[in-house]
Amino acid sequence: MAHVELRKLRKLYGKTVAVDGVDLDIGKGEFMTFLGPSGCGKTTTLRMIAGLIEPTEGEISVGGKLLSSPGTKVVPPEKRNMGMVFQSYAVWPHMTVFENVAFPLRNLKKSKEEIGKRVRAALELVKLDGLEDRYPSNLSGGQQQRVALARAMAIEPDILLFDEPLSNLDAKLREEMRFELKEIQRRIGVTSIYVTHDQAEAMAISDRIAVMSHGQIKQIGKPREIYDSPEDPFTAEFIGLANFFPGKATSEKTVCLAGREELEIDGCRELNMGADVILSIRPHNIKIYKEVNKTRNELQGIVAKGAYLGDKVDYRVRVGDSILRIQTPPGEVFTEGTKVCLHLPAEKISVISAARA
């Protein structure tokens, strides 16, 4: 049985739907990330798990215990034994580092020695030992976030919740903290749920990612699956760059494009003959040549724009009526107006759902 179970979770604010039927199972010790743009419902979902927001509909259970269900009394946040790290750190400015981390332990009525021991252990884990008596105003943003992490872990929670914890840090520190967070989580093995709008962060840190948009989960999978085979246009576009083009399935493995070219595909999905589909391919997966190779999955085009970016060249190539974006390592440079040949490897093309009318 999954450790955390969300069943048909919905949250309405008046008539606005913030979360629209989220179903999700999270395994014990798993690091799950909700990824999506602002307003997609990821934070609301997290806060419903925390108990800070009461769901309009749906059930939440952790470890087989029902925490929230319509018609029953919702377990308040202070009774859920979870830890949470906030975007704004939320380190209490009127308490020292020690007092901040000790506060949740005091609420559990732990003995003095135990509190001292656990606070020291937590601070050591986040590399803040020695700063116990400082006030948060004398700490950097990164240090404050470590205090928040230590505070969340000190009670050995069943679940750790992260609400965009790194987005107030500067870019360099953010990247460092990613690995550290992951490392700490692996070491203590706590089930973690993480919310972010930063896809690189999600990729780096998660066991699995749930991509969210408009209050719904669009796709759940390992970072690699989400990137390599997006199942829906939103996922493909939100994560990395992607080219989209519509077509019609002519067999289980071939799609005919608007310009009558036929592409072979090698995805995991089998196609229904005659179905309208949308294909997607990432710019760096398209190969660009000067000469025609007469291989399969080749398209003819004309370079419309090219920009040299140092480690790569970014092209816009006109193919029929549409423009494809291509990124290649800087080798041979094609000037604007050059006729080129594009190769779209069959295994790199994703079929993402039937085209919607």
Partner 1 sequence: MAERANRTTPLWGWNNNGLPLATAAEAPLRRLSRSLPVVLPLFVLAVLVVYPVAGLVGSSFFDDKGLTIGNYTQLLSPRFFKIMINTVTLGFGSAFVATAAGTIFAWLCVCTDLPFKRVFTILHIAPYGLPTIAAALAWIFLLTPKAGLFNRFLMWLFGLQSAPFNILTMPGMIWALAAHLYPWAFLLTSAAFATMDRSLEDAARMSGADQFKTFRKITIPLVAPSIAAAFMLVFTISIEQFSIGGTIGVLARIPILPVEIYRSIAVYPPDWGFATTLSVVLLLITSLLIYGQNKILAGKSFVTVTGKETMERTTLGKWRWVAFAISSLFVSIAVLLPYIGMIMVSLSPSLGADLTLSNFTFKHYVYIFTEHPFVFRAIGNSLFLAISAATLLALFTLAAAVVVKRSQIPGRGLLGYLTRWPIAIPGSVIAVSLLYTYIRPPLQLIGTIWILLLAYLIRNLPYAYSAAYAGLSRVDPALEEAARIHSTPPGRTFFRIIVPLTIPSVMAGWVIVFINALRELPASLLLFSSGNETISVAIYEMFEEGAFQLTNAAALMTLLSLVTILPAIIIKLRSRESGH
Looking at residues 59 to 78 of the shown chain, list those that interact with partner 1 (rule: CB under 8 A): 76-78
* Alpha helices for 206-321 (secondary structure H): 223-228, 233-238
Q: Which of 2, 75, 92, 121 binds partner 1 (CB under 8 A)?
A: 92
Compute the Cα dihedral for 69, 73, 77, 81 and give only its sign.
negative
Please compute, for residue 209, the number of CA atoms within 13 A of its CA located in the half-sphere on the CB side: 28
Q: Of the listed pieces 79-87, 239-247, 254-262, 344-352, which binds partner 1 according to CB under 8 A?
A: 79-87
Least distance CB 73 / partner 1 (angstroms) = 12
Task: Give dist(CA 28, CA 64) in Å, integer.
Answer: 12
Q: Which of 101, 127, 126 is nearest to 116 (CA)?
A: 101
> Least distance from C-beta 87 to partner 1, angstroms?
5
Q: Among residue numbers 281 through 340, which ones bind partner 1 (CB under 8 A)?
A: none
Tokens of 34: 């909700």
**Which of the ranges 88-96, 273-281, 282-290, 330-338 carries the binding residues for partner 1, by CB under 8 A?**
88-96
Of residues 35, 53, 209, 255, which one binds partner 1 by CB under 8 A? Answer: 53
Indicate the angle between helix axes 97-107 and 141-154, nearest 10 degrees. Answer: 20
Binding to partner 1 (CB under 8 A) within 138-177 occurs at 141, 148, 151-152, 155, 161, 163, 168
Beta carbon nearer to partner 1, 134 or 343: 134
Interface region with partner 1, contact rule CB under 8 A, candidates 111-119, 134-142, 201-209, 344-352: 134-142
Neighbours of 38 (CB within 10 A): 8
Rounded Cα distance between 223 and 225, Å, is 6
Radius of gyration of the chain (CA): 25
Enumerate binding residues for partner 1 (CB under 8 A): 13, 43, 47, 50-53, 76-79, 82-84, 86-94, 103-104, 107-108, 135, 137, 141, 148, 151-152, 155, 161, 163, 168
